[in-house]
Amino acid sequence: MTDTATPNDPMQILSGALPFLKRYDDAIVVVKYGGHAMGEEETALRFGRDIALLEQVGVSPVVVHGGGPQINAMLKRLNVKSTFVQGLRVTDEEMLDVVEMVLAGPVNKQVAEAITRAGVLAVGISGKDGGLIRARKLNRTYRDPDSNIERVLDLGYVGEPASVDPKVLRLLIGADIVPVVAPVGVGEDGQTYNINADTAAGAIAGALGAERLLMLTDVPGVLDPEKRLIPEMSVAEVKHGIEAGWISGGMIPKVETCMYAVERGVKGAVILDGRVPHAVLRELFTDGGAGTLIRP
């Protein structure tokens, strides 16, 4: 949801937050963090401080992160060529090694370290740890414009969550440790899969029955046909927006993730601009919020 004021001091935000602190006491909040929202070092440190503050005031945050820019930089550095099918990048065996190395390695540990530096213990894991994310190969189809026949896209080792076992997350939360999850899963046959971070966050939020799923992105939220921010939408209203065509492009997978989570018990999912200072705190602890809330 949106607010005309944009306080930059977290203490200013928390000064009027008592009703919201009661609402979120002991509540699980899953935060998807990645892309442009990860930004520069100071942005990352500010995010770490905000997540640490959540834990300190009684919220139980779980962070799920992406790392597209970091993966691209490493692919370039290692001279690994990308293959695209219908505009989508294929994750072959060589690329999968790079994806796992970057996501479960430096990116994961940097996010966890930023939170720990702010005074709260955070532990970085991947979806492969503790049987967290059981994955399956993602099947995508497209309609051939020449023959009008539906064909299957083979994106290699790109997967989606088949199931989520949140036991390891609950153990960390119970010990007042913030879990930081890299979106990599493993199949029944032991095959590793690269999973979209938005999709992984939605599945984890659903499995935990989280109070909120916060999707930090590089847009203010869902915009109406006149390009105005919509503070709140029901699942039915989102489906109508997709059918009518004014929810389109890259926003569709984001709202689909939010609907998936809400339909599995998450109280509400929010798409908000992670580049805005203290966006997470503003969304949870101010009356106006900071993006578009999607509810049942």
Annotated binding site: 67-68, 89, 194
Cα separation, 290 vs 59, in Å, equals 18
Cα separation, 26 vs 267, in Å, equals 14
User: DSSP secondary structure string, 266-288?
Assistant: -SEEEEEETTSTTHHHHHHHSSS
| Annotated binding-site members for substrate | 67-68, 89, 194
Upper half-sphere CA count for residue 189 (Cβ side, 13 Å): 5
Contact 37, 31 (CB under 8 A): no
Query: Measured in whole angstroms, how far is the alpha carbon of residue 218 from the centre of its chain?
Result: 12
Query: Measured in whole angstroms, how far is the alpha carbon of residue 157 from the centre of its chain?
Result: 20
Those residues with Cβ within 8 angstroms of residue 64's Cβ, 6 or more apart along the chain or in another chain = 30, 31, 32, 33, 181, 183, 197, 200, 201, 204
Sign of CA pseudo-dihedral 64, 69, 71, 74:
negative
Q: How far apart are the first and last CA of the chain?
A: 15
Three-state DSSP class for residue 218: coil
* H or E stretch covering 193: strand 192-195
